[in-house]
Amino acid sequence: MDRILLNDGNKIPAIGFGVFMIENNGPAYEAVMKALAAGYPHIDTAAAYFNEEDVGRAVRDSGLPRSEVFITSKLWLSDHGYEGAKRGLARSLKKLGTDYIDLYLIHQPYGDVAGAWRALEEAKAAGLIRSIGVSNMTPKLYKELTASFSVKPAVDQVEFNPLFQQRPLRALLQEDGVKLEAWYPLGHGDASLLLHPLITELAKKYGKSAAQIILRFEVQEGAIVLPKSTDAEHIKANIDIFDFALTKEELTALAALDSGKGKHDPEAPGIGEMLSKAYIIED
């Protein structure tokens, strides 16, 4: 498994297993157990996914040493601010049943981000978190919100796939050595992506699925990808992308698919308030 060096000196696996919208108390546990058995070294969860307990239990029951499983979780809006972030982190650690989290992100770029970030910097220094990062930050939000940070984020986890390649953001992140993590790396099942003639042609050439071609492109572009599935065969297939490489010409052709537009706009009016009401985190 390829590992990517972060700007804080830690390394992160190039591919992780996402558990967004997989229910707790069974389904998420089973999915993570399948992913770990298939060789995924990285599990990506969040307080607002409401399945941290299942993720932690699966990691413990897998028999793998904790040091061999990279766990990401995320702080929710209701815990923004200095004291709130300490509370939210403590809750995530408890639910995961672990002494530390490999990567902890500010999930949404609204509210008292500066106060929350200060608490995460302290938690990192104390060893409760190995790396800290942000999520859903556009170029505008990144420049505004990280200006006061003493420690630059290690990653920005955002929507990313061949149809939305985040070029302005990637150029900005590169200046600070910040890596891009891709949620919805397969376009959330978008048929216009999975059935695109270029992608199906490459899939035929390499004897791979359309999903594998897409994920391979993203990895070669330097993104950390987080595909999600509950199907055992799809879980296995999504990590089977390290036995081939796309050519420079093929990468250029896939790069040309970029529309510059995604499905989620973090700068949309009222989006922060809407999200804060949509997900209520409880102890």
Q: Write out the catalytic residue numbers.
A: 49
Cβ–Cβ under 8 Å, residues 31 and 59:
no
Neighbours of 11 (CB within 10 A): 14
Dihedral of alpha carbons 118, 122, 123, 124, sign: positive
Residue 260: count other Cβ atoms within 10 Å of its Cβ: 10
Cβ(218)–Cβ(47) below 8 Å:
no
Contact (Cβ atoms closer than 8 angstroms) between residue 267 and residue 141? yes
Name residues whose C-beta falls within 8 Å of residue 97's C-beta, 6 or more positions apart in sequence: 53, 56, 57, 60
| Buried b or exposed e, range 217-234, using 16+ CB within 10 angstroms | bbbbbebbbbbbbbeeeb
What is the Cα–Cα distance from 122 to 128, expressed in whole angstroms? 9
> Which DSSP helix (H) or strand (E) runs through 132?
strand 129-135
d(CA 185, CA 113): 26
Place of tokens 């106060």: 115
Residue 276: CB atoms within 10 A of its CB come to 16
Helix (H, G, I), strand (E, B) or coil at 230: coil
Both structure tokens of 87: 């509370």
- Three-state DSSP class for residue 18: strand
